[in-house]
Amino acid sequence: MDYRRWFTADVEQPYRVALIAFPGIRAFDVSVITEVYGADRTDRGVPAFDLRRVATGTTPIPMRGGLSLHPDRTLDWLAEADLVVVPGLDDHLTPAPPPVLDALRHAHARGTTLAALCGGAFTLAQAGLLDGRRAITHWNLVELFRTHHPHVTVVPDALFIEDDHIWTAAGTAAGIDLCLHLVRTAHGAEAAATIARSMVTAPFRAGTQAQFIEHPTPRADRDADALAAVREHALRHLHEPLTVADLAAHAGMSPRTFARHFTAATGTTPLRWLLDQRVAAAQRLLERTDLPMPEVARRAGFGSEVTMRQHFASRLATSPRAYRAAFSAAAPVSEPAGSSPIAR
Distance between CA 49 and CA 46 in Å, rounded? 9
Cβ proximity of 27 and 39 under 8 Å: no
Please choose, from the candidates 101, 109, 206, 203, the residue with its C-alpha nearest in 3D space to the C-alpha of residue 164. Answer: 109
Contacts for 286-289: CB closer than 8 Å, 24+ residues apart: 286/320, 286/323, 286/324, 286/327, 286/328, 287/188, 287/189, 287/190, 287/324, 287/327, 287/328, 287/329, 288/190, 288/329, 288/332, 288/333, 288/335, 288/341, 289/332, 289/333, 289/334, 289/335
Residue 101 is predicted with a pLDDT of 98
H-state helical runs in the chain: 27-37, 98-109, 120-126, 142-148, 173-187, 189-199, 218-236, 244-251, 255-266, 270-288, 293-300, 305-316, 320-327
Distance between CA 91 and CA 158 in Å, rounded? 22
Per-residue pLDDT tens, the chain, 344 aa: give them: 444 444 444 446 899 999 999 999 999 999 999 999 999 999 998 999 999 999 999 999 999 988 999 999 999 999 999 999 999 999 999 999 999 999 999 999 999 999 999 999 999 999 999 999 999 999 889 999 999 999 999 998 788 999 999 999 998 888 999 999 999 989 998 899 899 989 988 665 655 554 444 444 444 444 566 788 888 889 899 999 888 899 999 988 999 999 988 888 777 889 988 998 999 899 999 998 999 999 999 999 998 999 999 999 988 888 999 999 988 863 344 444 344 433 32
Please choose, from the candidates 16, 31, 176, the residue with its C-alpha nearest in 3D space to the C-alpha of residue 107. Answer: 16
Residue 137 is predicted with a pLDDT of 92
Residue 206 is predicted with a pLDDT of 59
Please choose, from the candidates 51, 52, 48, 50, the residue with its C-alpha nearest in 3D space to the C-alpha of residue 12. Answer: 48
Q: Read off the pTM.
A: 0.75
User: Which secondary structure element, helix H or strand E, spans residue 69, and what is its range?
Assistant: strand 67-69
Distance between CA 52 and CA 78 in Å, rounded? 10
Question: What letter represents residue 222's amino acid?
Answer: R
How many residues comprise the chain?
344
Buried b (16+ CB within 10 A) or exposed e, 264-276: bbbbbbbeebbbb
Please choose, from the candidates 185, 207, 193, the residue with its C-alpha nearest in 3D space to the C-alpha of residue 272. Answer: 207
Please choose, from the candidates 234, 344, 237, the residue with its C-alpha nearest in 3D space to the C-alpha of residue 285. Answer: 344
Q: How distant, in Å, are the alpha carbons of 170, 174, 314, 322 from that of 6? A: 25, 24, 18, 11
Specify the 3-state DSSP secondary structure of 1. Answer: coil
Distance between CA 260 and CA 228 in Å, rounded? 15
Phi first, then psi: give them for residue 170, nearest 5 degrees.
-75, -165
Could you please report the per-residue DSSP string of 28-50?
HHHHHHHHHHSS--GGGTPPPEE
Please choose, from the candidates 24, 82, 6, 29, the residue with its C-alpha nearest in 3D space to the C-alpha of residue 51. Answer: 82
Give 228's Cβ-side CA count (13 Å radius): 6
Specify the 3-state DSSP secondary structure of 248. Answer: helix
Could you please report the per-residue DSSP string of 121-153?
HHHHHHTTTTTTSEE---GGGHHHHHHH-TTSE
